[in-house]
């Protein structure tokens, strides 16, 4: 197989025209949070926390994988840089957190759930991508 036969695959992204709907989908977890705080929804604390994180995770994922208006190689590089930085941040966060738990005798160690780690990575990815896009 020579180089002309090898094709790079473009990532499957949500079309740019749906970006407004993605931003609107953030109203679902906000509405859930308001209803929970107002006492309309009677759920256990752990159940409501899990449900809120899932409802917040879906729009974040959609936002992370929404195409830009002009999708070119520069945007692709920015996406890869932001993803690499988010992965490095998550790895560092987990390692530092574990070291801090070993060094401080506070009793129970903090157990980071997968939802918290993924949400942290998504936030870091989106913030990093935003600043890289603004930087040019």
Q: Does pLDDT of 86 surpass 90?
A: yes
Cα 51 from Cα 45, distance rounded (Å): 10
Range with top average pLDDT, 12-16, 81-85, 106-110: 81-85
Calculate mean pLDDT across residues 1-20: 73
Which of 94, 93, 64 has its CA nearest to residue 80? Answer: 64
Cα 72 from Cα 34, distance rounded (Å): 39
For the chain, state the CA radius of gyration.
19
Calculate mean pLDDT across residues 85-95: 92
Residue 12 is predicted with a pLDDT of 81
Q: Does pLDDT of 88 surpass 90?
A: yes
Residue 27 is predicted with a pLDDT of 92
Calculate mean pLDDT across residues 79-103: 90
User: Which tokens hold the place of 136?
Assistant: 């040019």
Calculate mean pLDDT across residues 103-125: 83
Split at pLDDT 50, 70, 90, the class of 3 is low
The structure tokens 């859930």 sit at: 32
pTM, two decimal places:
0.78
Calculate mean pLDDT across residues 44-60: 88
Q: Which of 5-14, 19-28, 122-131 has the lowest mean pLDDT?
A: 5-14
Q: Does pLDDT of 2 surpass 70?
A: no
The structure tokens 């939802």 sit at: 115
More confident residue, 105 or 26: 26
């Amino acid at each position: 197989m020579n180089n002309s036969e090898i094709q790079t695959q473009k990532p499957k992204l949500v079309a740019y025209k749906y970006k407004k709907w993605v931003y609107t989908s953030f109203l679902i977890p906000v509405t859930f949070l308001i209803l929970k705080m107002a006492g309309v929804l009677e759920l256990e604390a752990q159940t409501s926390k899990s449900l809120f994180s899932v409802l917040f995770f879906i729009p974040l994922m959609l936002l992370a994988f929404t195409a830009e208006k002009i999708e070119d190689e520069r945007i692709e590089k920015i996406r890869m840089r932001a993803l690499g930085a988010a992965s490095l941040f998550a790895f560092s966060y987990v390692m530092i957190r574990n070291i801090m738990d070993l060094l401080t005798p506070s009793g129970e160690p903090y157990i980071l759930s997968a939802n918290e780690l993924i949400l942290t990575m998504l936030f870091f990815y989106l913030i990093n991508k935003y600043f890289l896009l603004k930087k040019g």
